[in-house]
Structure 1
Amino acid sequence: MHDGAEPPFPYPLLEALRGSPGSPAFEHGDRLISRGELLDLIRRLAAALQDAGLGPGRGVALRTGVSPEAFAVHMAAHALGCRVLCVRPGYSPRLLAHVLGLDIDAVVVDETTMRPELLSAAGPATVLSLGPVAGALDLLAHPGGDGFPAVTARPDDVALLTFTSGSTGEPKGCALTYRGLGTHWSWQPGLWSPLATAFAESFERFLLFGTLSSTVILDYLLLCLLGGGTAVIPEEGAGPLFPHAIERHRITGSVMAAPRLAQMLDLLRDRPAGLSGLRALVIGGSPLSPHRLTEAMRRLGPVVYNGYGTTESGLISMLTPGDIARFPGRAPASVGRPHSLVEISVRDEEGRPVATGRTGEIFVRTPYQMTGYWGRPEESREALLDGWLRTRDLGHLDETGLLYLVGRARDIILVNAAVVYAGPIERVLAGHPGVAEAYVAGAPDERTGEAVHAFIVPAAGRSPEPDALRELVRADLGEESVPRTVTTVPAVPVAASGKPDKSALLQRYGPAVL
């Protein structure tokens, strides 16, 4: 397939595995899987998928747990040039039927994910499994063959469909091509930046959890494996995942969402950290308040990185410990500097670039961004303008090149027909010393159409007064932005995507006031 200097994905990974067959690739409970064994597993699964009729341009949906076999079947499908669709956990039967109805030829499950609703949602697609599962063909029972099947991907074929969270409707599949993966910031070692190289070196023992349907998880897992590290999957029932698993498994690196970091810091308050081996902890998926970042750096050391990206674009920018050391007064409020492969343009409502320091909508252009939403041409045209991707995030760049976010262009609440942005309110609330995290959502209101409702996680030992927080918002943003209610919550609910679940906040804590 390849028409450029870099080899097509996943062949860089296969070569890395082939180069050190005896070193460990995965620790899964008490199992140790070497690189040679992982390579053989990918080869056998590729042969099994091919015998099931799969190859270039065919759609394969993966709905699996986190395991070496799940990762191997993902890579095997790419080796055949398939279109891999990553199914998030937690989909309702309706949403499951929606995503599995997007030109899928086969669905791969395992014993942890097989459910009755999946068989009906799969429709005519073949159901395949990793191990014996009733109603499915066991891929692991295939004997394999000599070498890899002689099938190659085509550059402009879609390699991966990864889904938006669907918070405003049905999830949309973001299409990434094999050409795009061939220029990816983490999947292609020939294009690694100093940042990617540093991560690969730090991920000697990478804590792997969550879901392989997340491209963020895949990005850093691949950096681990391509860099010679070992991915550690904690066994079930080992107690609180954080910080227990980091200590027990001598973890050197991982990636997690901001709410998980908050939970880990809370657990560490009453005892020493014991995490001296940690070299890189990447936070992503949702904004990290300056308070939490400062606390994390104080407790864990200069190992915390704050990443910013979207499902459509992949990684956009990264705040590093070096940025924080250089600009301690301003950097913690930012999301760092754009990656070397990313161009950024901040634009006004008319689409015109704005001056440095002025807020506008963030547009990005990367060689690995999506080519469009699968089966949604009109929405694709709205998102992609002359090669630039609309992030629908609001922010600005400062004179040092640091990028700051102030909210979502569409995370709005209509108060008395006036547009109120949730992001700036969250920023003001999180700036109060008594607030560790702040989230704002809108709900119908008989008097104003919609009303602003705020939910805060207090800083340790603090109990900020709601009226004081409202006055802070009023002074900074005006009367329309003042929250109707300010509710203190112990922690923020987290959606399957790893992001804060504002709908759950309203349902769990809002009924008495809505």
Structure 2
Amino acid sequence: MLDLIAGFVRGLRGAGLTPGSRVALDTGVTPEAFAVRVAAHVVGCQVVALRPGLTREHLRDILARDIAAVLTDDAASRPELAAEAGGIPLLETSGAAWPPAPGTPGPDDLTARGDRDGTGVIHLTSGSTGRPKGTMVTYGALSEDWALQPARWTDRTRRLAARYARFLLFGTLSSAVMFEHVCLSLLGGGTAVIPDQPLRFPEVFADHRITACMTTVPRLYGILDAVRDRAVDTSSLRALVVAGSPLAPHRLTEAAALLGPVVHHAYGQTETGMLTVLEPEELAADPGLADSVGRPLDTVEMTVRDPGGRDLPTGRTGEVWVRLADAFHGYWEDPQETAEVLRDGWVRTRDLGRLDARGYLRLSGRTRDIVIVNAVIHYAGPIERVLASHPDIDQAYVVGVPDDRTGEAIHAFVVPQPGAVPDADALRGLVARELGEAAVPVGVIGIGEVPVAASGKPDKAALRASLEGR
């Protein structure tokens, strides 16, 4: 790997790239893709990690922002990329002419040249709240990342790294979270295992003796369905890290029962990386923690604040604010959004939650995942949790759609438990008792499964569009 990185470093420099050059990374999941990103960092480039699923319009917008080169696996397989790149050089990681044949790495090949205060990477957010934003991270912040400095690892980090002996690498390397976790595996002496496509979950675990995997909530549900319905070998697993969207407490409890003490419930953002984790041993010792996302990492300072930015007492719900050395330093070409989120060294997560006396975080929704009915704000998270607490309901998702009388109306989509036939009136009554009549959904629609966006998260935009088309 070091030889491969060194070869790419020489190739990038030979192509005229220098510290501060902005390069777009449009690569799949391969050893070469990992190596070329690290090489770009060694050179000191600003790396723009293009995520899968970008629209052509968004791709055009990104490539118009002073991109010096595009690094890609195979330009011939990406005609839309070549068309939008125009005169920007396309450097193929698999090309015969570039990079030059790797040789023994010299000191200059592996000496990082990045400016500590300069931008090292721009990660694109999932776009779950609208157009994807670019989160800029300095080289200094990358150097402070909780996963990238083994000499600074805490006991919790070392425990997690020990479980990452064979880490399943799939999906995309452009994800800030995936990149830091594969680095955790490699720096802990583990192996990143790239399986053939298409992946077969959960059989892939046994096929490759996988010990660790990151997964979204919808994929976890599919794994649990398979394990529940047939004999599946998951005995190699040591860590299944679940993150990206809310996980109902009863499903976390079920996952622990079906898969054993391997499920880690984590919370983080593109802007910050991983913030909290609930370890399986903690859940086993206290099943009441099933509704939490664990405690903040030792590198994370966390508070809960009211709308005025004032700290709230333990147990009170408010917006979660965090401070950490490896957080992003601003949104790409968006000073207004940057000023909204970054405040005096703190990051406003725009997620709602509360901390208990032991430091465990319980999330209750996003500050902007709301439905405004008759000028009154209703957060989707609490309604979803109440609906999912009904014994007939497996999953629940709440959206708002325009309404001539009330401005917006609350609609709920529910995935029933196997064999159950939920009663819409009973579900409305449950919400009324728990949250009041004003929070009761106008419509309760049963669905077989939730649509999933390219990010791997539940696609609420698709749910909303299904209603607007009626």
Deviation sequence 1:203-257 (CA, Å, 0-9, x none): 11111111111111111111111111111111124xx521111111111111010
Moved over 6 A (4+): none
> In the alignment, is residue 296 of structure 1 matched against residue 255 of structure 2?
yes
Matches within 5 A, 1:188-267: 188-237=149-198, 241-267=200-226
Q: By how many angstroms is 1:115 displaced?
A: 2.3
Q: Counterparts of 2:138 and 2:9 in 1: how far apart (Å)?
A: 19
Matches within 5 A, 1:74-113: 74-111=37-74
Q: Counterparts of 1:197 and 1:388 in 2: how far apart (Å)?
A: 27
Is 2:75–2:90's contact at 8 Å kept on the other side of the alignment?
Answer: no
Pick which of 250-259 and 98-107 moved more.
98-107
Q: State the partner residue of 1:410.
A: 368
Q: Which amino acid is the alignment partner of residue 190 of structure 2?
A: G
> In the alignment, is residue 128 of structure 1 matched against residue 85 of structure 2?
no
Is 1:63–1:113's contact at 8 Å kept on the other side of the alignment?
Answer: no
Is 1:131–1:141's contact at 8 Å kept on the other side of the alignment?
Answer: no
Is 1:65–1:112's contact at 8 Å kept on the other side of the alignment?
Answer: no
Between the two proteins, the alignment pairs up a number of residues equal to 468
Matches within 5 A, 1:318-357: 318-329=277-288, 331-357=289-315
Pick the aligned partner of 1:68 from 31, 44, 62: 31
TM-score (norm 1): 0.87
> In the alignment, is residue 510 of structure 1 matched against residue 470 of structure 2?
no
Pick which of 420-429 and 459-468 moved more.
459-468
Q: By how many angstroms is 1:143 displaced?
A: 5.6
Pick which of 479-488 and 72-81 moved more.
479-488
Secondary structure at 1:246 match in 2: helix
TM-score (norm 2): 0.95
Q: By how many angstroms is 1:144 displaced?
A: 5.9
Deviation sequence 1:411-458 (CA, Å, 0-9, x none): 111112221111111111122222222111111122222111211222
Is 1:393–1:408's contact at 8 Å kept on the other side of the alignment?
Answer: yes
Is 1:64–1:110's contact at 8 Å kept on the other side of the alignment?
Answer: yes
Secondary structure at 1:392 match in 2: strand
Q: Counterparts of 2:452 and 2:348 in 1: how far apart (Å)?
A: 25
Q: Which amino acid is the alignment partner of residue 344 of structure 1?
A: M
Q: CA RMSD in A?
A: 1.8
Is 2:365–2:382's contact at 8 Å kept on the other side of the alignment?
Answer: yes
Q: Which amino acid is the alignment partner of residue 62 of structure 1?
A: L
> In the alignment, is residue 284 of structure 1 matched against residue 247 of structure 2?
no
After superposition, the Cα gap between the structure-2 partners of 1:168 and 1:294, relative to the gap in structure 1 and judged at 3 Å, is closer
Q: By how many angstroms is 1:39 displaced?
A: 1.4
Identity %: 51
Is 1:273–1:299's contact at 8 Å kept on the other side of the alignment?
Answer: no
Is 1:64–1:113's contact at 8 Å kept on the other side of the alignment?
Answer: no
Q: State the partner residue of 2:395.
A: 437
Structure 1: which 5+ residue stretches go unaligned? Answer: 1-37
Q: Counterparts of 2:395 and 2:130 in 1: how far apart (Å)?
A: 26
After superposition, the Cα gap between the structure-2 partners of 1:356 and 1:151, relative to the gap in structure 1 and judged at 3 Å, is closer
Is 1:104–1:125's contact at 8 Å kept on the other side of the alignment?
Answer: yes
After superposition, the Cα gap between the structure-2 partners of 1:480 and 1:432, relative to the gap in structure 1 and judged at 3 Å, is same
Structure 2: which 5+ residue stretches go unaligned? Answer: none
Deviation sequence 1:90-148 (CA, Å, 0-9, x none): 1111111122233321111123894222123224422111224xxxx953455667524
Pick the aligned partner of 2:429 from 457, 467, 471: 471
Secondary structure at 2:229 match in 1: coil
Q: Counterparts of 2:399 and 2:426 in 1: how far apart (Å)?
A: 19
Pick the aligned partner of 1:382 from 319, 340, 353: 340
